[in-house]
Chain A
Amino acid sequence: MPENNQATTTSSSGSIRRSSTRRPRKKKKNMIPFGVGLFVLIVLIGILLGQNNATVGLFWIFGVSFGFTLQKARFCFTASMRDPYLTGGTSLTRAVIIAFALTTIGFTAIKYGAYVKGLPIPGMSYVVPISAATVIGAFMFGIGMVIAGGCASGTLMRNGEGFMMQWLVLIFFIAGSLWGAHDFGWWKELFIANGPRVFLPDVFGWAGALALQLLVLAGLFIFATKYEQKKSA
């Protein structure tokens, strides 16, 4: 499209004309001492936790790393589901699909490794019966997360950022989870236990299950790319 013939053109900083409605800049406190102090504190806590129980120390490191990555990348599951409708952008949706694909490969590797050695496969308790409850629950969660402005990981990340609205969300997140856990036995008996429990490698074989999942994810990825192109045309 032709560049606007007025004086401003695109460039990196400070070129867009604006009138004098600038707020006076407040002097910013230097945050680097805080940053270094916090880093030292994180390492110390990690060492402390790791002394009693190495796994907990590892969890601490993973948790902090995940949080850091999430925050810097502004990764957001909520936005991945909401943006295609709101702005037509699917970049986060595709990021989530890539994350799923990597996780699939990783977990298949772990589980298959255990299977081949004859060890019990870790995580089989997560193969739960599938039923309409999953669909309904997911739908409700979707509505909730868009209104709340974040799902589990996003809320925790924003809590750390100091976003006070998310502190309120966290309180209800905990309350809701507790209530759900309290009644989960009832829900499970009545609605969930009747569904089929499918462990994909049992049905398609290990390679088949991996290939099928990756194919579905690839298909979704291509669909998301085409969707964004169509919407921005």
Chain B
Amino acid sequence: MAKEVVIDSLGEACPVPLVKAQNAIKEMEVGDVLILQIDHSCAMKNVPEWARKDGHNVEVEEVDDGEWEVIIEKC
């Protein structure tokens, strides 16, 4: 079954959620799902951009005012 990794990056500024996501994706296998919780709008843009560039499936959900979950499935 696909593993699910949840990373809580609430309150962290620009590069940190992206760096955490990058490191986590490296350790995951194809088909695993990474859920990144962010509340920084820069990250809401640059994490999906990076993930799509790397070829993963990405979805962004706004779960609350100013909080998002970026769901990345490793491909």
Partner among A1, A14, A23, A165 whose Cβ is within 8 Å of the Cβ of B75: A1
A42 CB to nearest B CB, Å: 21
Most buried by B among A17, A28, A78: A17
B residues with a Cβ closer than 8 A to A are 2, 4, 6, 11, 13-15, 18-19, 22, 30-31, 33, 35, 40-42, 44-46, 49-50, 53-55, 57, 59, 63-66, 71, 73, 75
**Cα–Cα distance between A17 and B2 once the two chains are bound (Å):** 9
A52 sits at the interface (CB 8 A): no
A117 sits at the interface (CB 8 A): no
A87 sits at the interface (CB 8 A): yes
Do B45 and A78 have beta carbons less than 8 Å apart?
no
A163 sits at the interface (CB 8 A): yes
Which of A2-10, A54-62, A122-130, A215-223 forms contacts with chain B? A2-10
Number of A interface residues in the complex (CB < 8 A): 39
A82 sits at the interface (CB 8 A): yes
Q: Known contacts A4-B30, A87-B50: does B59 contact A14 (CB below 8 Å)? A: yes
**Which residues of B have CB within 8 Å of A89?**
46, 49-50, 53
Do B14 and A149 have beta carbons less than 8 Å apart?
yes
Partner among B19, B33, B42, B46 whose Cβ is within 8 Å of the Cβ of A16: B33
**Cα–Cα distance between A74 and B43 once the two chains are bound (Å):** 10
Partner among A28, A82, A87 whose Cβ is within 8 Å of the Cβ of B65: A28
Do B30 and A18 have beta carbons less than 8 Å apart?
no
A112 CB to nearest B CB, Å: 37
A189 sits at the interface (CB 8 A): no
Do B14 and A23 have beta carbons less than 8 Å apart?
no
- Interface flags, A85-102, vs B, CB<8A=1, else 0: 011110100000000000
Do B66 and A162 have beta carbons less than 8 Å apart?
yes
Partner among B4, B14, B45, B65 whose Cβ is within 8 Å of the Cβ of A19: B4
